[in-house]
């Protein structure tokens, strides 16, 4: 269950620089490639001749050529040519709205008539020299909503990430959750605590002492369809916490773009954007490595959780105060999906 009339991150530009990329998005097999002018194109990953995956072909002179019998596709989904064949009556395959922006390729898997590039999630750190960004991609075998739950309730850090960002104060400080339209915000502020290992490294990266007490914050922002941006950081204790002057703190935005592949698998685009010591490439690499290890610690837990839920589909799960962020996010999603289905019913009835 996921909204279709929305922008999802499909891939990074580098993934399609050399050859077509086949990727399933919201159950839909799609091929991404660069056309002759360098613009990104997204089509059904289905050759109209024999149904071969077009992603197994190659781009020749800006055209996507099927690797089975040489059929060449145009950006609109219309067959352009095929050796020894007349192609005028070949069926057109589906093309998808696609935009390259903020260092990602975004796709709209729903009604193309509703696609509006202005609805793509803003990324204020992109193309800004005062910010640095490093990230990666994981393929995870779980429902995308389980990852949203995971990111909107950071209590698990105490246990899953005990050697990196976890600490007992997370358990001891209850979060607060609010809903603003379709955005869900969960926040936790911890004052006068010892920084955990990851944040000691970040403090050193900003030329701050790592052996002093700090004020720490986590502010999780969920936006549909499945984006979670988390403001995180530490400031030397007593200097103003979240509002401290930049010279006293190390803060970042954890970037989580979650793209459903199927009902039980996702493409997880993760990263961290920071606006301190942005030109230090070694620091960017170190933070990226550390964050990658942190996120990899979630993988087994989420995949085994998914397996349990499949095995016991009728078990009811508890909803505690720490789950409020994920619960409200699911309600937002349920409402959006219900609205899409209601809007589609008159069209379906008319076509019948």
- Give me the sign of the Cα torsion angle 42, 44, 45, 51: negative
Nearest to 10 by CA among 122, 120, 106, 101: 106
Task: Please list, in sequence order, all residues whose beta carbon lies within 8 angstroms of the beta carbon of residue 244, skipping any fewer than 6 positions away.
Answer: 215, 235, 236
As beta bridge partners, residue 266 has: 140, 260
Backbone angles phi, psi at 84, to 5 degrees: 75, 10
The answer to whether residue 232 sits within a structural domain is yes
Cis link prior to 225 (omega < 30° from 0)? Answer: yes
* Residue 203: count of CB within 10 angstroms of its CB: 22
Residues 225, 339: Cα–Cα separation, whole Å: 13
The answer to whether residue 172 sits within a structural domain is yes
pLDDT attached to residue 346: 66
Nearest to 328 by CA among 185, 171, 170: 185
Q: Is 45 helix (H, G, I), strand (E, B) or coil?
A: coil
CATH label of the domain that carries residue 330: 3.90.380.10
43 and 155, same domain (yes or no): no
The answer to whether residue 1 sits within a structural domain is no
192 and 273, same domain (yes or no): yes
pLDDT attached to residue 156: 83
pLDDT attached to residue 221: 98
pLDDT attached to residue 218: 96
Asked if 333 and 260 touch (Cβ cutoff 8 Å), the reply is no
167 and 51, same domain (yes or no): no
pTM of the shown model: 0.93
Residues 263, 2: Cα–Cα separation, whole Å: 9
Backbone angles phi, psi at 36, to 5 degrees: -60, -30
Residues 339, 318: Cα–Cα separation, whole Å: 27
The answer to whether residue 342 sits within a structural domain is no
Range of the domain at 82: 8-119
pLDDT averaged over consecutive 10-residue blocks of the chain (352 residues)?
95 94 98 92 96 96 93 93 88 97 97 96 91 95 96 85 83 93 96 93 93 96 97 96 95 96 97 91 90 88 95 90 92 95 71 55
The answer to whether residue 300 sits within a structural domain is yes
208 and 166, same domain (yes or no): yes
Backbone angles phi, psi at 154, to 5 degrees: -85, 10
Edge-to-edge strands, sheet with 265-274 = 132-140, 265-274, 249-262, 227-236, 214-223, 183-193, 176-180
């Amino acid at each position: 269950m996921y909204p279709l009339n929305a922008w999802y991150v499909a891939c990074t530009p580098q993934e399609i620089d050399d050859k077509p990329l086949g990727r399933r998005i919201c159950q839909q097999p799609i091929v991404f490639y660069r056309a002759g002018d360098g613009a990104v194109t997204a089509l059904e990953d289905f050759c109209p001749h024999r149904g071969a995956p077009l992603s197994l072909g190659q781009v020749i002179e800006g055209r996507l050529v099927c690797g089975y019998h040489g059929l060449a596709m145009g950006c609109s989904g219309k067959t352009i040519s095929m050796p020894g064949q007349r192609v005028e009556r070949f069926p057109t395959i589906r093309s998808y709205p696609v935009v390259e922006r903020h260092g990602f390729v975004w796709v709209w898997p729903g009604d193309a008539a509703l696609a509006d590039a202005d609805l793509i999630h803003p990324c204020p750190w992109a193309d800004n020299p005062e910010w640095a960004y490093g990230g990666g991609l994981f393929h995870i075998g779980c429902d995308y909503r389980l990852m949203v739950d995971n990111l909107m309730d950071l209590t698990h850090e105490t246990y899953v990430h005990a050697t990196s960002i976890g600490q007992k104060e997370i358990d001891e400080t209850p979060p607060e959750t609010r809903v603003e339209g379709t955005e869900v915000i969960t926040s936790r502020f911890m004052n006068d605590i010892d920084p955990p290992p990851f944040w000691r490294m970040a403090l050193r990266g900003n030329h701050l002492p790592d052996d002093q007490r700090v004020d720490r914050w986590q502010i999780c922002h969920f936006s549909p369809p499945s984006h979670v941006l988390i403001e995180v950081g530490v400031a030397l204790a007593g200097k103003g916490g979240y509002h401290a002057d930049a010279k006293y703190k190390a803060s970042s935005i954890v970037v989580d773009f979650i793209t459903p592949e199927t009902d039980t698998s996702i493409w997880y685009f993760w990263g961290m954007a920071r606006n301190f010591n942005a030109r230090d490439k070694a620091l960017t690499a170190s933070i990226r490595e550390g964050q990658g290890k942190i996120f990899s610690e979630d993988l087994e837990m989420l995949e085994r959780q998914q397996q349990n839920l499949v095995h016991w589909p009728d078990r009811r799960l508890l909803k505690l105060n720490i789950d409020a962020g994920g619960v409200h996010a699911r309600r937002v999603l349920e409402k959006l999906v219900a609205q899409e289905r209601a809007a589609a019913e008159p069209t379906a009835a008319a076509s019948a």
